Amino acid sequence: MAQHATPRENLLRALKSRYALLTGIIAVEFLLFGFLAPYFLTVGNLLNILRQISEIGMISIPLTFLLLSGHMDLSVGSIVGVCGIVCGMILRAGQPIALAVLAGIAAGAAVGFINGVIVGKLKIQAVVVTIGTQVMFRGLCYIMTSGRAVSGYPLSFFVLGNGDVMGLPISVLVLAICYIGAWFTLERTYFGRYILAIGNNQNTTRYSGIRVDRVKILLFTFCGVMTAIASVFLISRLSSAEATLGSGYELDIITAALIGGIDINGGSGKLQGTFLGILIIGILRNGLNLMGLSVIYQSIILGVLLLAAVAKRKG
């Protein structure tokens, strides 16, 4: 006869879970930076953290989908640049905001589709493909801007990245809606099962009748679209778009996903883990910035975290 776990055993299991550990790390970050950085716990700074993580949070959704399918997109930072610059150039030309936003999203869909077709149809490893497109798209950013910032947007555009509804930043509300939709897709739909199936065994999934190449194209295109949406909020918050826009985003997001328990080989992990990882990275970067730590040293710390997360998964 099967024995049921007692409430005490359930509580201990919950406290030992990865999510409890991640929540504990976030609490430690708040205590540490609250003590070391005088302005860390101010309302203005906490809202700033939410705005910052909302942008990488939007990109983390499709990147988590890709990681769960056993793939990776290292070009997302460069895609942020391309889409943000396209949107910014149209705004600077005096065109309607809606047109500029749609053009930026269309650019994201196009470059994501390119990644997906090369990976899905030509059967080239995603890491190799997206390293190549990362360099190519970043070069395109420099060509489009000639190395100069793209600015001069209408004042109404700044509401997207800096406005709020009932005290919460608009970008955070959009992120919450996106996460709920993404969670439902992964946990309650056939498409979510296809993603996990591909990550577990791509060949078996293909033999079962699922068009694996189409799923890959959809995932990369979705990644481009979500990255474009994030770039719109980013240039609205920053008031300009530069050739370096989005640089390093891929490191932050992949590190967050792996810290959150996503298997780098695909097939296992939860979206909520990625979200907690994003919070950890966002709080860490903000706190270190307030302490005056150079971006170079921040990158070293993130690199160590990434290696530690991978090593833990392998252990």
Tell me the per-residue pLDDT of 66-87, one tens digit each, with 9 for 90 and over: 999 999 999 999 999 999 999 9
> Which pLDDT score is estimated for 1?
45
Residue 13: band (very low, low, confident or very high) from pLDDT cuts 50, 70, 90:
low
Q: Tokens 């990275």: give the residue.
A: 281
Give me the chain's average pLDDT, please: 92
Q: Among the residues of 37-125, which ranges form H helices?
A: 43-68, 76-92, 97-121
**Residues paired with residue 221 on neighbouring β-strands, in sequence order:** none
Give the model confidence (pLDDT) of 248-290 as tens digits: 899 999 999 999 999 988 988 999 999 999 999 999 999 999 9
CA gap 229, 237 in Å, rounded: 13
**What is the C-alpha separation between 232 and 102, in angstroms, rounded?**
10
Quote the CA–CA distance of 176 and 275 in Å, as a whole number: 10
For residue 251, how many C-alpha atoms fall within 13 Å in the half-sphere facing its CB? 14
DSSP state at residue 301: H
53's CB contacts (< 8 A; 6+ apart) are: 175, 278, 279, 281, 282
What angle do helix axes 271-290 and 170-188 make, rounded to 10 degrees? 150
d(CA 45, CA 42): 5
- Tell me the per-residue pLDDT of 90-121, one tens digit each, with 9 for 90 and over: 999 999 999 999 999 999 999 999 999 999 99
DSSP state of 123: -
